[in-house]
A and B are shown apart, each in its own frame.
Chain A
Amino acid sequence: MAAAKAAAKRGPSKVRVALIGLCLVAAWLGLAYRLFQVQVVQAADLADQGLTQRLVTRDLAPQRGKIFDRNGELLAMTVEAQSIWANPSQVEEPLWVAQQVGGLLGVDSEALYERLTSDRDFVYLKRQVEPGVAEQIAALEVRGLYAHPEATRIYPAGEVASHVTGFVDIDGNGQEGLEYYYDEELRGVPGKAVFERDLEGRIIPQGISDIVPAVPGTDLNTTIDLPLQYQAQQACLSAVDRTDAESCWVVVLDVETGGILAMTGAPVFDPQTRRTIDENCDPTAEPTCHDFANFVVRSIYEPGSTQKLITVAAAVEEGEVKAGTVIPDVADRLELREDACRSADDNLFGCYQDFEEHETASMTVAEIFTRSSNVGTILVAEKLGQERLISYIEQFGLGSATGVDYSVEAPGTLNFEAGCETCWASAAIGYSVAATPLQMAAAYAAVGNDGVWTAPHIVASKTDVDGREDVTGLETRRVVSEETALLMQELLANVVAEGTGQNASVEGYRVGGKTGTANKLGEDGRYTEVTRASFVGMAPMDDPQVVVAVLIDAPSFKYRTGGASAAPVFAEVMEQALHRLGVTPDGATG
């Protein structure tokens, strides 16, 4: 009995120990198996998964290049702005949120409500908001609203330089102006960063880290003088107001280098919002409210009498006339085609008349130019012939693009249809030819530069990671001899001193230039009384430094001539240009 009891005592404890031992062994075997699985069999896969979770690949956006004026003033740069977005599924009171946030963002609350009630997980409420707005929205502590940084293009000079810089779209792609033309150079090269991060997003030291830095965009250093640009724009705005014109355009060129010192006009637009700045402009009613085209480069016009510089220069260069050559029987009306002058109002297309009636008389070439006689100029052009006239018009750069570094330059047109008997006469006085204001300015600059035409340009140099590089290799060509150029300079000076351009005089400087008054074509193909008034000139006449070209589009009848509307703008802009460049006055009393 006792033995049985003893045996019973020993039996169960041994079994229990054996069972426990077995369990322990099984557990350890299980662990060992699992360890073997994790550390050996699945080691590579798990390591890869871990790395995938830790590894981050980020594109590094390059900083878009800046744009400067000739004095180092900033015209365009990129900064970081906040863009507000929402996850509609997380927004609890979309109506309240839309009302609260709409005012801060300047967005219609109804439109916001629509976005906040959509079934998407990500909707932008507004991109690239003004500084401080993101903080105000964050202060509301609205669930579902977030902000993330985005690069935004800023134009510190605003509308002053908008016709030069152009603008970018919301994603930073150049759309107009320098931003478009130099888009590839300005945008830079994106980089890439690959690194291991911890739970807080910090780079893990000693982990994988491979960074290819972004290459910042190239900075552009322009020839623009910002204060002069402002003055020119103000002069245009005043002119539009005074003459009730549709628009006004000005370009200022450095005669020798072809650098554009100012290029602007009115109406103006804000490159930030890409909207016209005109309180009288109703975007729903006026298509011009959305017109951002820079007329100086992008639009052509018939230059009228300003074209006579080329006609007379060509005739002088070819030896057909001199300044003192007498042209007999210069009437105030000329009929080149039978019955062309059917009525007193008929003009062009074979019937040409001077602006003012006068007796038929002999005039010297100098007088013809000073008085801007259409008939006289045609008689001079008759000695030249159509072929040579066309050749010189082309040599002076009309009818083809100048190659200026700006978006979509208009090439201009020469209308010499086969069988057109009178096109040469029209072209001689600035019809049948269409050019941009920039092409006209460059043509005049050629005369100011002693007969050498230089390609106009806006960017003088570029600065990238490798340093600064000047723009070189600009096209130049001789169009007339120095002797002819000097003679034409004197004739231009006479126009201002005694002729139709007296409103263009500048106190203290001797200036020269030519007025232009070209009738605009109506929808019926006939010329109307509405004009494009222009003045192109240069100063100082002893050694021209600057050319200014002014175009006033559709001024009121009282100001329809170049002398009445464009010449005063020229005077105002030229005076500022000469002061800005520090040109010594030559003592003329204008």
Chain B
Amino acid sequence: MVLIGVVAFLGLGFARTSLDRSAFELDRLDRAMTEQAAMNEQLRLEIARLENPARVAPLAEEMGLVIPGDTRQLLVDLGGPAVASNDEGGTQ
């Protein structure tokens, strides 16, 4: 009986310790998850900043790109397709 009692006591102690250890681990994972979520938000913010038209448009202009301004019209005649060029003579 005494042996059973001792074993039970030790077992209880072990279980309690395991539980507490798991709880601390859970807390640590929780904090890690919060940090990752915050980092995710920062990255999302960075993407939005990079996609800001006020940033993209001047860079595109520096690279020689233009905002589409002319209407592209495809004229089709019986002889086959022909493409009407835009005023700027660009190729697309």
The answer to whether A and B belong to the same complex is yes
| A residues in contact (CB < 8 Å) with B | 73-74, 77, 79-80, 154, 156-160, 202-203, 205-206, 226-227, 229-231, 234, 507-509, 575-576, 579, 585, 587
Residues in chain B near residue A160, CB distance under 8 A? 52-54
Task: Point out the residues of chain A lying under 8 angstroms from B70, CB to CB.
Answer: 507-508
Is A159 within 8 A of B48, CB to CB? no
Contact B53 A226, beta carbon cutoff 8 Å: yes
Report the bound CA distance from A79 to B43 in whole Å.
Answer: 11
A74 — nearest CB in chain B belongs to which residue? B48
The chain A residue with its CB closest to the CB of B55 is A158
Write the chain B residue with the least CB distance to A157.
B52
**Chain B count of residues within 8 A CB distance of the other chain:** 26
Least CB separation from A226: chain B residue? B53
Q: Which of A80, A154, A203, A508 contacts B23 (CB 8 A)?
A: A203
* A158-B57 Cα distance, complex, nearest whole Å: 14
Contact among B20, B24, B45, B53 for A230, CB-based, below 8 A: B53
Closest chain B CB from A577 CB (angstroms)? 13
- Please name 21 pairs of A and B residues whose Cβ atoms are closer than 8 Å in the assembled complex, sorted by A: A74-B44, A74-B47, A74-B48, A77-B45, A77-B48, A79-B41, A79-B42, A79-B45, A154-B45, A156-B45, A156-B48, A158-B54, A160-B52, A202-B24, A205-B24, A230-B54, A231-B67, A507-B71, A575-B69, A585-B71, A587-B73
Residues of B within 8 Å of A156, CB to CB, are 45, 48-49, 51-52
**Cross-interface CB contact of B73 among A157, A234, A508, cutoff 8 Å:** A508
The interface residues of chain A lying within 8 Å CB-to-CB of B51 are: 73, 156
What B residues does A159 contact at CB under 8 A?
54
Q: Once the chains are docked, how many angstroms separate the CA of A156 from the CA of B45?
A: 7
Interchain CA distance A159-B54 in the complex, whole Å: 9
A221 to chain B, nearest CB (A): 15
Please name all residues of chain A whose beta carbon is closer than 8 Å to the beta carbon of B20 when the two chains form the complex: 205-206
Q: Report the Cα distance A156→B51, complex, angstroms.
A: 9
Asked if B38 is at the interface of the complex by the 8 Å CB criterion, the answer is yes
Assembly CA distance A527 to B92 (angstroms): 53
Interchain CA distance A159-B69 in the complex, whole Å: 24
Instruction: Enumerate chain A residues within 8 angstroms of B27, measured Cβ to Cβ.
Output: 202-203
A238 → chain B closest CB, angstroms: 13
Cross-interface CB contact of B71 among A230, A231, A234, A508, cutoff 8 Å: A508
B68 at the interface (CB under 8 A from A): yes
Asked if B19 is at the interface of the complex by the 8 Å CB criterion, the answer is yes
Residues of B within 8 A of A227 (CB): 53
Q: Which of B22, B44, B47, B54 contacts A157 (CB 8 A)?
A: B54
A74 near B24 (CB under 8 angstroms)?
no
A74 and B67 contacting across the interface, CB-CB below 8 Å: no
> Could you tell me the distance between the alpha carbons of A587 and B73 in the complex, rounded to whole angstroms?
9
Q: A205 is contacted by which of B19, B41, B67 (Cβ under 8 Å)?
A: B19
